[in-house]
Chains A and B, each alone.
Chain A
Amino acid sequence: MAQTNIQSGTSTDSSLRRQLAEFWYYFSENRGAVIGLAVFILLIITAIFAPWIAPHGPADQYRDAVLLPPIFQEGGRAGYLLGTDAVGRDILSRLIYGARYSLFIGIVVTCIALVGGIFLGVIAGYFRGWVDTVIMRLMDVILAFPSLLLALVLVAIIGPGLTGAMISIALVYQPHFVRLTRAAVMAEKTRDYVVAAKVAGAGPLRLMFKTILPNCMAPLIVQATLSFSNAILDAAALGFLGYGAQPPASEWGTMLADAREFIASGQWWVVTLPGLAILITVLAINLVGDGLRDALDPKLKRS
């Protein structure tokens, strides 16, 4: 008996490893996704170790070094690799600390939208009927507004600030998750294994969240990755409009807003660098999302 237990233990280990190996096989076929993943991991490391990596504090002002250009341009100084802004803060340090904001926003927004969306979607897809109609029409109403505009209205109601921005963006993203979950649940609900669980005596709650939901996760994970990058983008947009994180926070969108006056002047680095940071981050995460879809969607596999 002991021997068989050991055997079965190793077999699950190897099966997990094989699943992971298979996942990696399909994921790594998409070279863009691997590059995206590398960039994303680098970003996470940067965010975690920001205080050790950054040469200066994000809010430290150096009066003697206002609007210095990056080091590779004439007039750059060794202490400030990517130059400084209008009040003498080191841009590199601010960008490094800004990564924390962006990741935080992405995680919080995605989690709220995901949890709420899954909950509503599973209920709508499982019960159908009037419950479904009410939930879905409500989602249609949210979808009927341009997303940024709706987020702005919500922020105006909740009050400007990072928390308000995150909650409103999460609300705006809700319908996508609800729809996706509902469609997946409806497809899975008619499968024989669900009927079998019902015959075994499983109640609606168990059927919804234990039997059906785990089989609907693949498209949700992909959608979550894409929302992650969209959330960063929207938070930056809200920051730029002055409704997101408030100065002197080093959130990338807010940095852009502060630098608005330099768009037309010669100090290009103050504007370009935060924009570039947003671009690279969003691109990397989107690439990872594409790779995940290739690896997780059985329909795209082996065809």
Chain B
Amino acid sequence: MSEIVLEGRNIVREYHVGGGLFGKAKTVQAVKGVNFTVEKGKTLAIVGESGCGKSTLGRILTLIDPQTSGELLIDGKPINIAKDKVTTEMRRKVQIIFQNPYGSLNPRQKIGEVLGEPLLLNTKKTAAERRELAMQMLVKVGLGPEHYNRYPHMFSGGQRQRIAIARALMLSPSLLVLDEPVSALDLSVQAQVLNLLADLQDEFNLTYVFISHDLSVVRYIADDVMVMYYGEVVEYGTRDEVFSNPQHSYTKTLFAATPKSDVESIRARIAKKKAAA
């Protein structure tokens, strides 16, 4: 049952800044030695504010950027793209969904081509098979076969995010990295997309790494939570542990800063305001 899909051991990512004609090159550590494991079918949420290194980590997990040091294991196999080429087999295991649904689809590519591209590049399926699979996937993410020949600009933000999800699932990956997948969406659409993600996770037994800054979304979707602050993991545990008993002061600050929309909080705020006036 507890099959481990993803494991990171002491992952470090450094950037070299400057070092042109003048000035000395500086080394900035965006991710400073991160350890974690994710079991099959579970969701690990990585929480943090901008610049904390969560997206950098996401790009390492998706084999877009290499880690500077440390070990990354996917399905138990170590991989470092700085050394070895990414094989088709590895490529098929991890996919990513981006935050901005307007930037993640090629404006000159029809939806059918968007969905067919991963199959075209990684499998030997014929055009007819690709078309059939793409149509099926469109239905699965709540769109219809009639959308196959349309261009991205004809869709709303929520629909585009569904298309991005469909593209990620075309190669039936075991791991999906979701980089703030709902933070650019309206509240009502956000709910729909979160529901879709939950359904797909059940259906395909997917493993999610869910990168987010929104604690209410994380609380809803995550099994495990990892809080990052300036490249370091300051809190790591199950959802209930982290939310009911945060240890690190930064996690506490984060919880305190999250707007509260329950009636008691509003009543307290209004009472306080009345008292001050």
Interfacial residues, chain A to chain B (CB-CB below 8 A):
1, 4, 7-9, 11-12, 15, 191-193, 195-202, 206, 211, 214-215
The residue that B95 contacts in the complex, of A192, A193, A199, A211, with Cβ under 8 A, is A199
Q: Smallest CB-CB separation from A202: which chain B residue?
A: B121
B150 x A193 contact (CB < 8 A): no
Known A8-B148, A9-B149: A195·B64 in contact at CB below 8 Å:
yes
Q: Smallest CB-CB separation from B123: which chain A residue?
A: A201
Most chain-B Cβ atoms within 10 A of its Cβ — which of A9, A11, A200, A211? A200
Q: How far is the CB of B235 from chain A (nearest CB, A)?
A: 29
B104 x A192 contact (CB < 8 A): yes
Q: How far is the CB of B5 from chain A (nearest CB, A)?
A: 17
**A-B contact sample (20 more), CB < 8 A, given A196-B104, A201-B118, A215-B108:** A4-B145, A7-B146, A8-B146, A8-B148, A8-B150, A12-B149, A15-B150, A15-B151, A192-B98, A195-B96, A196-B167, A197-B106, A198-B64, A199-B62, A199-B64, A199-B91, A199-B94, A200-B118, A201-B122, A202-B117
Indicate if B225 sits at the interface (CB-CB under 8 A). no
Most chain-B Cβ atoms within 10 A of its Cβ — which of A193, A197, A206? A193
B96 x A196 contact (CB < 8 A): yes
Q: How far is the CB of A219 from chain B (nearest CB, A)?
A: 15
Residues of A within 8 A of B98 (CB): 192, 195-196
The residue that A214 contacts in the complex, of B64, B108, B148, with Cβ under 8 A, is B108
Q: How many CB-defined contacts (below 8 Å) exist between A and B?
A: 72
| B-side interface residues, number (CB < 8 Å) | 35
Q: Smallest CB-CB separation from B110: which chain A residue?
A: A12
Residues of B within 8 A of A7 (CB): 146
A200 x B121 contact (CB < 8 A): yes
Q: Once the chains are docked, how many angstroms separate the CA of A11 from the CA of B63?
A: 37
The residue that A11 contacts in the complex, of B64, B149, B167, with Cβ under 8 A, is B149
Known A199-B96, A201-B88: A193·B118 in contact at CB below 8 Å:
no
Interface residues of B in 141-175 (CB under 8 A from A): 144-151, 154, 164, 167, 171
Most chain-A Cβ atoms within 10 A of its Cβ — which of B88, B103, B106, B148? B106
Q: How far is the CB of B149 from chain A (nearest CB, A)?
A: 4
Q: Once the chains are docked, how many angstroms separate the CA of A2 from the CA of B108?
A: 26
Residues of A within 8 A of B107 (CB): 193, 215
Residues of A within 8 A of B148 (CB): 8
Q: Once the chains are docked, how many angstroms separate the CA of A301 from the CA of B164?
A: 27
Known A200-B117, A201-B91, A201-B122: A211·B64 in contact at CB below 8 Å:
no
Q: How far is the CB of A55 from chain B (nearest CB, A)?
A: 48
Q: Smallest CB-CB separation from B111: which chain A residue?
A: A8
Interfacial residues, chain B to chain A (CB-CB below 8 A):
62-64, 88, 91, 94-96, 98-100, 103-110, 117-118, 121-122, 144-151, 154, 164, 167, 171
Q: Once the chains are docked, how many angstroms separate the CA of A202 from the CA of B117?
A: 8
Known A200-B117, A202-B117, A214-B108: A192·B103 in contact at CB below 8 Å:
yes
Query: Top 9 nearest A-B pairs by Cβ distance?
Result: A201-B121, A192-B104, A200-B118, A192-B103, A214-B108, A8-B149, A192-B98, A193-B106, A12-B149
Residues of B within 8 A of A215 (CB): 106-108
Residues of B within 8 A of A196 (CB): 96, 98, 104-105, 164, 167
The residue that A12 contacts in the complex, of B62, B109, B150, with Cβ under 8 A, is B150
Residues of A within 8 A of B88 (CB): 201
Q: Once the chains are docked, how many angstroms separate the CA of A187 from the CA of B107?
A: 15
Residues of A within 8 A of B147 (CB): 8
Sample (9) of A-B pairs whose CB atoms are under 8 Å apart: A1-B145, A12-B149, A15-B154, A193-B103, A193-B104, A196-B96, A197-B117, A198-B64, A201-B122
Q: How far is the CB of B42 from chain A (nearest CB, A)?
A: 22
Q: Smallest CB-CB separation from A9: which chain B residue?
A: B149
B100 x A192 contact (CB < 8 A): yes
Q: How far is the CB of B159 from chain A (nearest CB, A)?
A: 14
Q: Once the chains are docked, how many angstroms separate the CA of A8 from the CA of B110?
A: 12
Residues of B within 8 A of A214 (CB): 108
Q: Smallest CB-CB separation from A19: which chain B residue?
A: B151
A200 x B64 contact (CB < 8 A): no
Q: Once the chains are docked, how many angstroms separate the CA of A4 from the CA of B24?
A: 62
B105 x A193 contact (CB < 8 A): yes
